[in-house]
Amino acid sequence: GWQASMKSGSLSYILPCNRLPVQLMSQVRVYTSNGQKKDLGSEGTNGSARGETLPKAETGQDTANAGQKQSSPKQPIQVKVKAVLKKREYGPKYTQNNFITGVRAINEFCLKSSDLDQLRKIKRRSPHDDTETFTVYLRSDVEAKSLEVWGSPEALARERKRRKEAEIKYRENLFRNQRLLWEYKEFFGNTKPRSSTAAMFFKGPGKVVMVAICINGLNFFFKLLAWVYTGSASMFSEAIHSLADTCNQALLALGISQSARTPDPSHPYGFTNMRYIASLISGVGIFMMGAGLSWYHGIMGLIHPHPVESLLWAYCILAGSLVSEGATLLVAINEIRRSARAKGLSFYQYVVQSRDPSTNVVLLEDAAAVLSVAVAATCMGLTSLTGNPYYDSVGSLGVGTLLGTVSAFLIYTNTEALLGRSIEPEQLQRLTELLESDPVVRAIHDVKATDMGMSKVRFKAEVDFDGRVVTRSYLEKQDIEQLLQEIQQVKTLEELEAFMLKHGENIIDILGAEVDRLEKDLKQRNPDVRHVDLEIL
């Protein structure tokens, strides 16, 4: 049977089969966002309905329960009204509330700066570090103004097409004028002061590379003369080695000059990796040009041996090459020691991690040059003492093997750097602890810190922010008494919605300001961190 009970003045029925409570409500009101309400039923109607259904429900109950129910007075049924806002449908594309900068408004909607003076100006938090706020416009206002200026969307599209064609023509003329200016400079001479790119070759890695180019170029010339005079296979390998070093270091100089270019829209993170690319190509060049030709000449000397002429001049040239290559090696070692000390790394760690690829190439090439001079001199001496030309060919193979080892190391280290390796775990731990120690951060996840080359780090993490701390940060900047008065004045749904939207948007701005503050702190305390991407979880 049915069992009836009175709870808090409301009438509820419990089904004995599944014990699910079913409460009858006398009236239901649905509120929309505009404050209108709609009655779905009246108390009298529900009462009549109850009068029809209750006898049916009471047919299976005991006589005592029926008598008790008839004697109990009718209690007013309390109504619980749930007011909800009607969900707004924005559609797949909604840009009515989007902001747009003045530059985009002028370029994309073909407006003039005077046209923007008549539009509403909104101050927003700037995404750039050098400015705090900047002016934006509502996209809907800009679109309406563009239609007012041009009359129709078709006319606006025609103007955009015309400006695009004019821009392409301007770029073509600019390229042509640059070529004419370059020819003018070549004919009359360049009277401009030395640029910052040229100044890079007078200090640091640029200086090391330029010294190596000059010395290796002279060594190649003299070794080539000695090979022509003596016909020694080891001397030929040494001449090829010096030529390969000169070409590779010229390539390094090109990489250094290209890495100094300023970022552009096509390469927003700059051209720093050009040094690694040049070093990688240099390693491949050493392997193909230096090691390959040395092995080929050594193998041919073993297959077709021929007597070696007087080696006196060859010894003199090798001695001079040993001194010059040793001087370049000392310059590279001093530069790496200075840079490693500045980074707090050991000499070995700085070289293995390829922190400065240009200097690394010079260091390894000159170290290989010094060792190859020693190998070539030893094998040539054995050939002079024994008269056996096979020792000279074996020396050529030894020099080729040494160059192949250096090229393999350069290819490996520069490939690792170009792939985007992670920073040291200790440095990553310091960055993580700095974020987690901030009160606005609850937790961080998916942390990635990539070395972009030349000690430039890109840091990315998903941050779980503490909404209470962010909200309290917003409230600390507000007049609490005035805020309380605004709350007390809220009477309707429209006023409540306006109140929540106003302060909700302000809290979102505070959250954005907290993200900017964290990014700024990371960059200030860790100068190597150049790009920070904090994603709100």
> For residue 476, what are its two tokens?
């600390």
| Cα Dmax for the chain | 137
114-120 long-range contacts, CB within 8 A, separation 24+: 115/145, 115/149, 116/142, 116/145, 118/145, 119/145
Give burial (CB, 10 Å; 0-12/13-18/19+) of 300: middle
Our separate counts of H helices and E strands in the chain read 19, 11
Q: Tell how strand 457-465 and strand 529-536 pair up.
A: parallel
β-sheet with 457-465: strand ranges across: 441-451, 457-465, 529-536
Q: Identify the CA nearest to 84 among candidates 487, 493, 504.
A: 493
pLDDT for position 462: 92
Amino acid sitting at position 401: T
pLDDT for position 51: 40
Fold exhibited by the domain 197-419: Alpha-lytic protease prodomain-like (1.20.1510)
pLDDT for position 191: 46
User: Which residues are registered as beta bridge partners of 23?
Assistant: 12
pLDDT for position 72: 53
pLDDT for position 6: 40
> For residue 467, what are its two tokens?
């909404």
pLDDT tens, the chain, 537 aa long: 344 444 444 444 444 444 444 444 434 444 444 444 444 444 443 444 344 443 444 444 444 444 444 555 566 676 665 656 667 777 777 777 888 888 888 888 899 888 888 898 888 877 776 677 788 898 888 989 999 999 998 999 999 899 888 888 888 887 777 766 666 655 555 444 444 556 666 677 788 888 888 888 888 888 888 888 777 777 787 788 788 778 888 888 888 888 878 887 788 888 888 888 888 888 888 777 778 878 887 888 888 887 766 667 777 877 887 888 788 888 888 888 888 888 778 888 888 877 778 788 888 878 887 888 888 888 888 888 887 888 888 888 888 888 888 888 888 888 888 887 888 888 889 999 999 999 999 999 999 998 887 778 899 999 999 999 999 999 998 888 999 999 999 998 888 889 999 899 899 989 998 999 999 999 988 888 888 999 988
Q: Angle at which helices 274-285 and 233-259 pack, to 10 degrees?
A: 170
Residues with Cβ within 8 Å of 517's Cβ and at least 6 positions away in sequence, in order, are: none
Residues with Cβ within 8 Å of 255's Cβ and at least 6 positions away in sequence, in order, are: 274, 275, 276, 277, 278, 279, 358
> For residue 504, what are its two tokens?
């909700």
Half-sphere exposure of 19 (CA within 13 A, CB side): 0
Residues with Cβ within 8 Å of 358's Cβ and at least 6 positions away in sequence, in order, are: 205, 206, 208, 209, 252, 255, 256, 275, 278, 279
Name the CATH architecture for the domain at 425-536. 2-Layer Sandwich (3.30)
Give burial (CB, 10 Å; 0-12/13-18/19+) of 503: middle
Domain residue spans in the chain?
A: 92-188, 197-419, 425-536
pLDDT for position 85: 65
Q: What residue has token string 């009438």?
A: 11
Fold exhibited by the domain 92-188: Nucleotide Excision Repair Protein XPA (XPA-MBD); B Chain A (3.90.530)
Per DSSP (E only), the strands in 27-112 are 29-31, 37-39, 99-101
